[in-house]
Amino acid sequence: MNPTIEKLAGLAEVTVAMRRVKALTEKARPRYHIETFGCQMNVHDSEKLAGMLEQMGYTGAKRAGEADLILMNTCCVREHAESRAFGHLGAFADNKRENPSLVVAVCGCMMQQKDVALRVKQRFPFVDIIFGTHNLHRFPLMLLRVLENRVRVFEVHGEAGGVVEGLPVRRRKGAKAFVTIMQGCTNFCTYCIVPHVRGPERSRDIDNILSEARGLAESGVKEITLLGQNVNAYGKDLMHGPGFAELLWGVAEIDGIERIRFMTCHPKDVSDALIEAMAGCEKVCRHIHLPVQSGSTAILRAMNRKYTKEDYLALAGRMKDAVPGLEITTDIIVGFPGETREDFDETLDLVRRAGFSAAFTFMYSPRKGTPAAKLADRVEKAVKKERLLELNALVAGMTARENEAYVGRTERVLVEGVRESDGERLCYGRTHASKTVCFTGGAAPGDIALVTVTHTRELSLHGKQAEV
């Protein structure tokens, strides 16, 4: 049992539950399968759930049909992710019919919406456990109740507690790892459900973050991605605590950690100290994901983003001046209620002027419980589709031209994996500035290889390993 959990009084009953589940399942040697939807925070939550399951004696299964426990970790940020989750969940009914003792659990942001959780409970009677984002650490208690009493467990907490420390984590082996530094958001953008399902901003203690990062470095991890709904608000809720820039410098001092990434940032909270850390610390990657959402100041105001188009462009320009080679990626929503053609043209203008290396683009979809869902001035779906296609074409052309500038350059690439393609050994990984690179060579996962870029293909760079 994880010794850190043993020391946490608030998790004493969880510890006992984990031991009891392990005793119940020891002879059966059960297997689990987790399906994750949504952001990196959800991926890392699934790693924690996997860590708890493995301490309870479960082992991983690649396919749902091979598992004794299926867990779906859901996302509700966009309608598409929610629809996909419902579709996948319905397919698990067949697994339950074939294996009546199968335990099916659903968690995550969708389940933190009580009306959605109730719908799942009523529509899918084969689901045994339903829980939200605020009580992930209580999963062993819920599983124990199902195994001992064969009852359905429905547990969605309305209030977010503090950040729970010491949970076991089952990460994929490799040179990269996620580290959560805070939970929640207090910005309340009018289109966004996240503050309602993740709760307010709560920062982890810096000593706990650094201790986790040191442990990862000792295990061979070379690149850490610091996670939060708004990482550059880190520390604002701590009494006299360090800010995000101080945390970056602290992680950079850890031997073995060679690259530090982070996501996601809100433009209004980017500080001079953060820019200085990105400019002055070699380990902090030359990439920032800085969601703009719209190029129209009027729409930004309706979204409650708290900056103007010119504010954003000035910030992007200042950051590029301070950090040579900085790559900026972004998120953009088209078709927000009230968006006119003139507003959309402002977005196209911002994209051209900001020089994004990539953009994740979406059509607006209303989220129940958000202020924007009540707005009447909706943009027709056909218009949203047309605008999305136009925006994507602009972004793709800019990305292609920017990638062409890398041809002939030699970049340091952290190798993430190796695969065979047409009888050729191909390595793949990312540059310091987060460009994806495929290349021929003898490098192994975890190596940092020098790669000469020879050509581009769609959104990636291609090349060959350089001789040292």
Residue whose C-alpha is closest to residue 426's, from 441, 416, 436: 441
CATH classification of 410-465 is 2.40.50, yes or no? yes
Residue with structure tokens 């695969």? Answer: 419
Q: Within the chain, which residue ranges are assigned CATH 2.40.50? A: 410-465
For residue 239, the SS3 value is coil
Q: b or e along 174-184 (b: 16 or more beta carbons within 10 Å of the residue's beta carbon)? A: bbbbbbbbbbb
Q: How far apart are CA 390 and CA 334, in angstroms?
A: 10
* Residue type present at position 391: L
pLDDT given for residue 3 in this prediction: 37
Q: b or e along 11-22 (b: 16 or more beta carbons within 10 Å of the residue's beta carbon)? A: beebbebbbbbe
Q: Within the chain, which residue ranges are assigned CATH 3.80.30.20? A: 176-404
Low-confidence ranges of the chain (pLDDT < 70): 1-10, 158, 160-161, 468
pLDDT given for residue 384 in this prediction: 97
Q: How far apart are CA 234 and CA 272, in angstroms?
A: 15
DSSP label of 293:
B
The architecture of the domain spanning 3-155 is 3-Layer(aba) Sandwich (3.40)
Q: How far apart are CA 220 and CA 176, in angstroms?
A: 9
pLDDT given for residue 468 in this prediction: 66
Cβ atoms of 431 and 408 closer than 8 Å: no
DSSP string, 329-376: EEEEEE--TT--HHHHHHHHHHHHHHT-SEEEEEE----TTSGGGG--
Q: What predicted TM-score, i.e. pTM, was given to this entire model? A: 0.88
pLDDT given for residue 49 in this prediction: 96
pLDDT given for residue 9 in this prediction: 42
Residue 31: Cβ within 10 Å count: 17
Q: Within the chain, which residue ranges are assigned CATH 3.40.50.12160? A: 3-155
- Locate the DSSP E strands across 196-278: 202-203, 223-227, 259-263
pLDDT given for residue 199 in this prediction: 86
pLDDT given for residue 5 in this prediction: 37
CATH of the domain spanning 176-404: 3.80.30.20
Order of strands, sheet of 176-180, starting from the edge strand that comes earlier in the sequence: 176-180, 223-227, 259-263
pLDDT given for residue 270 in this prediction: 96
CA end-to-end span of the chain: 46
What kind and span of H or E run contains 320? Answer: helix 309-322
Residue 352: Cβ within 10 Å count: 12
pLDDT given for residue 424 in this prediction: 86
For residue 282, the SS3 value is coil
* Residue type present at position 466: A
Q: b or e along 97-119 (b: 16 or more beta carbons within 10 Å of the residue's beta carbon)? A: eeeeebbbbbbbbbbbbeebbee
